Amino acid sequence: MASKNHTITSQKKQPKLPKTNGKLVKNTTSKQHIKKKLNKTISTKKITKTTSIVFQINYHTTFGQELFITGNHEIFGNNNLSKALAMHYLNNDWWSVSLDLTNISLTSPIIYNYVLRNADGSIIQDWGNDKVLDITAFKTKEVLIKDTWNYAGYYQNSFYTEPFKKVLLNQITNTNITSSKKTTHLFKIKVPILQEDELVCITGSTKALKNWNSEQPLLMYKKNDDDFFYIGVDLSKTTFPVAYKYAIYNTKEHRITKYEDGDNRLLYDEASINKTVIINNGFIALPATQWKGAGVAIPVFSLRSEKNFGVGEFTDIKLLVDWNKKVGLKLIQLLPINDTTATNTWVDSYPYAAISAFALHPLYLNLQQVAGKKYQTLFNKLETERKRLNALPSVDYEAVMKIKTTFIQQIFPLVSKTTFASKSYQAFYQSNKQWLIPYAAFSFLRDTNKTANFNEWKTHQTFNEKEIETLVEEKGDAIKIHFFIQYQLHLQLKQATEYAHKNGVIIKGDIPIGICPNSADAWQQPDLYNMDMQAGAPPDNFAVKGQNWGFPTYNWQKMKEDGYTWWKQRFEQMSYYFDAFRIDHILGFFRIWSIPTNAVEGIMGHFVPAIPVNIEEFSLRNIPFNYNRYTQPYINDDILLQLFDNDADYVKKQFLKYNEFDTYILKPEYNNQKKVETYFATLDTNKKNKKIKEGLFNLISNVILFEEKGSKGKQFHFRFAVHTTSSFKHFDEQTQKQIYNLYINYYFHRQDDFWLKEAMQKLPALKRVTNMLVCGEDLGLVSSCVPIVMKQLGLLSLEIQRMPKDAHKDFFHPNDAPYLSVVTPSTHDMSTIRGWWEENKNTTQHFYNNELGKQGNAPQHCEAWISEMIIMQHLHSPAMWSIFQLQDLMGIDDKLRRENFEDERINVPSNPKNYWKYRMHLPLEKLLKEINFNTQLKQAITISNR
């Protein structure tokens, strides 16, 4: 285990411990006896059926708020929030409810949660699935449960997610501590992180709690697969109230070394022979923010090994794990790995345009492993081409896909019968057939019709489940070959992630915000998407015309009808392979930048959903309103001359017609960007045509408002950055001021509460589907409600040095990062540190003097020591994770890093036709042998306590 921090571990040699009720069982005791003692947490002379249970929750409420209990039993509404059990108000800090169990059968454990309903009807549910009621464990007539609300935003919850429980923190339980024979009160507490030689204990103001004895407290035990530490105590001879605290006991020093922070806890519930009191105190009041980790980010396709096929493969992840382990990195972050095969060209290299939200990309399949020893000779015939492709500096997407597809078609008939007969394959098929069959049929029909656009297919344009089942039977192996490919990919990725776990490394995936419009998902369930709109992002410094991703937007209302099943299935699928995941453009769960399909540029969009501007608002602000002036492109001779210069007369003649008042309108055949793009696609791509096309795009976007669909001219949305348009600048000064104030209100004030409620309808339910660690890519135009929701749900934010979220700062300093965050100097959508250093000398100089604290002129190039300083800033950040692109890490070594930094960039967001082909410039096998670099990096990580 790479981490020094861990939860309870069994000592090889048991230290001498104090004799207490929380005592050690002698090593000579049999395992059966130990198990019996552990299960016997509550004991009385006579076994009695529990007939009454009281739930009490310590939660401060205000007028109009109500509390309920939900759970997987009919008394709690079977997890249906509308049927949850109502609680009763005791006072502002306590709620209670009593259950008579005389005629209720509770034979199996129940998982329950508390639910808060606000005055406005909104719902908040406390977090976790560790509130478990097992009534068979109690032997008293009455049970009183005193619970603590688990706020989802508590950072300690992160340590109970899968990566921490299964990989990063040891979860060995101690089975040598027991409760007292007679128990009236059962204490339970969660302690996420313990150092070596530390145990959890409790002590207090009574003899049964050892009278605050720091050398002989009550030690607590932890059950298998349980998040809590427990100890049962007999307080029948105790005077109440009782003061107590949880603490950390050091087994080497034989004393308490840390008491929890804050005032003493107080217990008022007296003991009774017929009652058991369970005290759930939630988390121990001790900081746990000392745990920090570092990771590397790289797309799978960018990995290079000596034996791969000119592209990274799932099997190469094992070599990357070996390197991670060598230098002390605990995480590998990947880009999306879903199948994107839509055109069978390099355009499919775009990893965010998946044709299936569930299928893996055949690009990443290791052919040699599929061939096995039996068909090694067949694979060896590819060796010459394999070496050629692997020697290339970047990925040749089309060539790699062609040779892999051909080989799979050759090997499939030889191994399919054995594969399909295996129990492993059959289990895979049964677990995934809900998406696997439609995906395989889609892939077959795509290839048959030579297009992924299902609207152009000769048959099966509309998905019909029964027809597709018949098609699969008719076409047989022509479709089932895709079952085979997905199964092989599943095996290889699963093996890679299991290898990572064994070596103390977790894998972080990436969930794209969108799907390809020509995809199996859109074909199978088109009503889940707005196929007449395109998702994107508003303009920013990286893309001044905005971004148009070309994905259909989500029909959230339709998705809500079945409880967001598609999204839940997506999250569940991620958990097969990943420990953590990044939600791409998490802002899309609040609102999405929606662009009509007749537009090309992102500037033509607006946020959906959004509260529109009503026509009455213009008159209320004394703004003269003219529908055509505000919603149509404003074109006059001055604007034409500015955009087209000497070509202005040609543009007027070819594309415009005279309107009135010395203005022009676009001819119908050129009145949207898509028509203009289509026209110029038939012409030469010379400089003049490019300039005219871009000028026409600018004319079309030279508007003030976009009309809300179906509003009959009564509601509108502002074009983004409206104050920069020539249309705006042709208003008088007073009108400009009034329009701008309304624009600011629209984008930065009126939407926040509305968007917060939108996000809270979706994200909490989706987060509950999985126990993975969830990170949100919260970049771009971030409204004030976004960090509120992220904090409430305990989602890790993304903090980038050159993209401060504070508009008053030029840079974000890693020292200012919240604990629940990921800090990074760059992402795949940006230039690397070295590339950024040379983009703008003024910016670089400012950064050099103010962020690095250096005097004088900044070096012209980003020297290795500069890269190292920036890396060190991030490693020493208080953030839970520091994650770096591999290119940035190699930048700290002059001899190792790539000669040309421009070849290190993965994506340029402003270029919709970017070729995603970056590869490491040296194989992982060689990287593992770079002693000087690996030692330097390991030392940096160690010094930063990551």
**DSSP assignment of 419-477:** HHHSHHHHHHHHHHHHHHHHHHHHHHHHHHHT-S-GGG-SS--S--HHHHHHHHHHHTH
HSE at residue 571, side-chain half, CA atoms within 13 A, is 21
Per-residue pLDDT, averaged over 238-258, amounts to 96
pLDDT band at 175 (very low <50, low <70, confident <90, very high): low
Sign of CA dihedral 771, 772, 773, 778: negative
pLDDT band at 348 (very low <50, low <70, confident <90, very high): very high
The neighbour count for residue 496, using CB atoms within 10 Å, is 24
Q: 206: Cβ–Cβ under 8 A, 6 or more apart, which residues?
A: 235, 238, 239, 242
Closest to 321 (Cα-Cα) out of 506, 92, 594: 506
C-alpha distances (whole Å) from 454 to each of 69, 436, 445, 465, 537 are: 47, 17, 8, 15, 27
pLDDT in tens, 359-393: 999 999 999 999 999 999 999 999 999 999 999 99
Q: What is the pLDDT of residue 20?
A: 38
Q: Find out whether 328 and 942 touch, Cβ atoms under 8 Å.
A: yes
Return d(Cα 825, Cα 802) in angstroms, integer. 7
Return d(Cα 359, Cα 362) in angstroms, integer. 9
Instruction: Name beta bridge partners: 706.
Output: 717
Return d(Cα 731, Cα 494) in angstroms, integer. 62
C-alpha distances (whole Å) from 208 to each of 269, 590, 648 are: 15, 52, 93
Q: What is the pLDDT of residue 384?
A: 96
Lowest mean pLDDT among 8-22, 122-136, 292-306, 732-746: 8-22
Q: Where are the alpha helices (DSSP H) in 307-373?
A: 317-327, 367-371
Q: Residue 900 carries which DSSP code?
A: -
Q: Find out whether 330 and 295 touch, Cβ atoms under 8 Å.
A: yes
pLDDT in tens, 643-693: 999 999 999 999 999 998 889 999 999 999 999 999 999 998 899 999 999
Tell me, rounded to whole angstroms, the distance of Cα 138 from its chain centroid.
Answer: 40
Residue 45 scores a pLDDT above 80? no
Q: What is the pLDDT of residue 95?
A: 97
Return d(Cα 926, Cα 923) in angstroms, integer. 5
Helix H or strand E segment including 802: none
DSSP string, 117-146: E-TTS-EEE---S--EE-GGG--SSEEEEE
Per-residue pLDDT, averaged over 886-895, amounts to 97
Per-residue pLDDT, averaged over 169-185, amounts to 76
- To the nearest whole number, what is the mean pLDDT of the chain? 92
Q: Find out whether 208 and 242 touch, Cβ atoms under 8 Å.
A: no
pTM for the complete prediction? 0.90
Residue 728 scores a pLDDT above 60? yes
Decide which of 224 and 697 is more confident: 697
pLDDT band at 51 (very low <50, low <70, confident <90, very high): confident
Return d(Cα 621, Cα 713) in angstroms, integer. 18
User: Residue with structure tokens 């962020």?
Assistant: 851
Peptide bond preceding 526: is omega within 30 degrees of 0, i.e. cis? Answer: no
Q: Give the SS3 label for residue 700.
A: helix
User: Residue with structure tokens 């009509």?
Assistant: 596
pLDDT band at 48 (very low <50, low <70, confident <90, very high): low
Q: What is the pLDDT of residue 174?
A: 66
Q: What is the pLDDT of residue 106?
A: 82
Query: What radius of gyration, in Å, describes the C-alpha atoms of the chain?
Result: 32
| Pairing mode, strands 773-776 and 580-583 | parallel
C-alpha distances (whole Å) from 233 to each of 139, 178, 212, 251 are: 15, 10, 15, 22
Helix H or strand E segment including 808: none
Residue 67 scores a pLDDT above 90? yes
Q: Find out whether 517 and 340 touch, Cβ atoms under 8 Å.
A: no
Q: Name the residue type at position 807.
A: A
Dihedral-angle region of residue 241 (phi above 0 means left; psi in -120 to 50 means alpha; beta otherwise): beta
Q: Find out whether 927 and 889 touch, Cβ atoms under 8 Å.
A: no
Instruction: Name beta bridge partners: 142.
Output: 52, 275
Q: What is the pLDDT of residue 850?
A: 95
pLDDT in tens, 601-616: 999 999 999 999 999 9
Q: What is the pLDDT of residue 103?
A: 85
pLDDT in tens, 292-323: 999 999 999 999 999 999 999 999 999 999 99
Per-residue pLDDT, averaged over 761-766, amounts to 92
Percent of all residues in the chain with a pLDDT value above 90, rounded to a whole number: 87
Q: Find out whether 547 and 537 touch, Cβ atoms under 8 Å.
A: yes
pLDDT in tens, 433-492: 999 999 999 999 999 999 999 999 999 999 999 999 999 999 999 999 999 999 999 999
pLDDT in tens, 13-24: 333 333 334 443
Percent of all residues in the chain with a pLDDT value above 70, rounded to a whole number: 94
